[in-house]
Amino acid sequence: MTDTARTTTPAPSEVLPAISVRAAGKIFTVAKGAEVQALTGIDLTVAPGEFVSLIGPSGCGKSTLLRLIADLDSATSGEILVFGKTARQARLDQEYGIAFQSAGLLPWRSVQANIELPLELHGVGKAERAARAEELIELVGLTDFRSRFPDQLSGGMQQRVAIARSLAERPKLLLMDEPFGALDEMTRERMQQELVRICSETGAAVVFVTHSIPEAVFLSDRVVVMSPRPGRIVDIVSVDLGAGTSRSDSLRENPAFFAGVTAVREALHGSPVAPLGADLR
Partner 1 sequence: MTTTVSAAAMATDPSAGGAGAGRGAAGRSVARSVLPPVVLGVAFLLVWQLAVVAFDIKPYLLPSPTDIVGQIVIVFPLLWSSLLATGLNALIGLVLGGVLAVVLALLASRVTIFDRMIVPIVAAVAVVPIVALAPILNTMFGSTSDTPRRVVVLIVVFAPIFINTLRGLRQVRPVHRDLMRAYAASNWQLTRTVTLPGAVPFIFTGLRIAAPLGVISAIVAEYFGGLQNGLGSRITSAAANSAYPRAWAYVFGAIILGLVFYGVTLLLERLASRRRA
Q: What CA–CA distance (Å, rounded) separates 87 from 66?
A: 11
Least distance in angstroms from the C-beta of 272 to partner 1? 39
Confirm or reject binding of residue 106 to partner 1 (CB under 8 A): yes
User: Do residues 262 and 275 lie in contact, with contact meaning Cβ atoms separated by under 8 Å?
Assistant: yes
Footprint on residues 131-150 left by partner 1 (CB under 8 A): 149
Confirm or reject binding of residue 107 to partner 1 (CB under 8 A): yes
Confirm or reject binding of residue 231 to ligand ATP (CB under 6 A): yes
Of 80 and 119, which has the nearer Cβ to Mg ion? 80
Q: What CA–CA distance (Å, rounded) separates 277 from 163?
A: 33
CA distance to 49, 66, 73, 117, per residue, from 96 (Å): 13, 12, 15, 15
Helix (H) or strand (E) holding 37: strand 35-46
- Contact string (CB under 6 A) for ligand ATP, positions 198-217, x = contact: --------------------
Of 50 and 71, which has the nearer Cβ to partner 1? 71
Least distance in angstroms from the C-beta of 148 to partner 1? 9
Ordered strands of the 232-238 beta sheet? 96-99, 173-177, 205-209, 51-55, 222-227, 232-238
User: Do residues 132 and 119 lie in contact, with contact meaning Cβ atoms separated by under 8 Å?
Assistant: yes
User: Do residues 51 and 216 lie in contact, with contact meaning Cβ atoms separated by under 8 Å?
Assistant: no
Of 57 and 141, which has the nearer Cβ to ligand ATP? 57
Using CB under 6 A, which of the segments 11-19, 43-51, 55-63, 81-89 binds ligand ATP?
55-63
Confirm or reject binding of residue 63 to Mg ion (CB under 5 A): yes
Confirm or reject binding of residue 72 to ligand ATP (CB under 6 A): no
Least distance in angstroms from the C-beta of 70 to ligand ATP? 12
Options 19, 55, 68, 70; binder of partner 1; rule CB under 8 A? 70
User: Do residues 139 and 160 lie in contact, with contact meaning Cβ atoms separated by under 8 Å?
Assistant: no
Confirm or reject binding of residue 104 to partner 1 (CB under 8 A): yes
CA distance to 75, 90, 110, 233, per residue, from 179 (Å): 23, 22, 20, 21
Confirm or reject binding of residue 83 to partner 1 (CB under 8 A): no
Least distance in angstroms from the C-beta of 265 to partner 1? 31
With a CB cutoff of 8 Å and minimum separation 6, the contacts of 31 are none
Confirm or reject binding of residue 153 to partner 1 (CB under 8 A): no
Angle between helices 111-121 and 155-167 (to 10 degrees): 20
Least distance in angstroms from the C-beta of 107 to partner 1? 7
Return residues touching ligand ATP (CB under 6 A). Answer: 28, 30, 36, 38, 58-64, 231
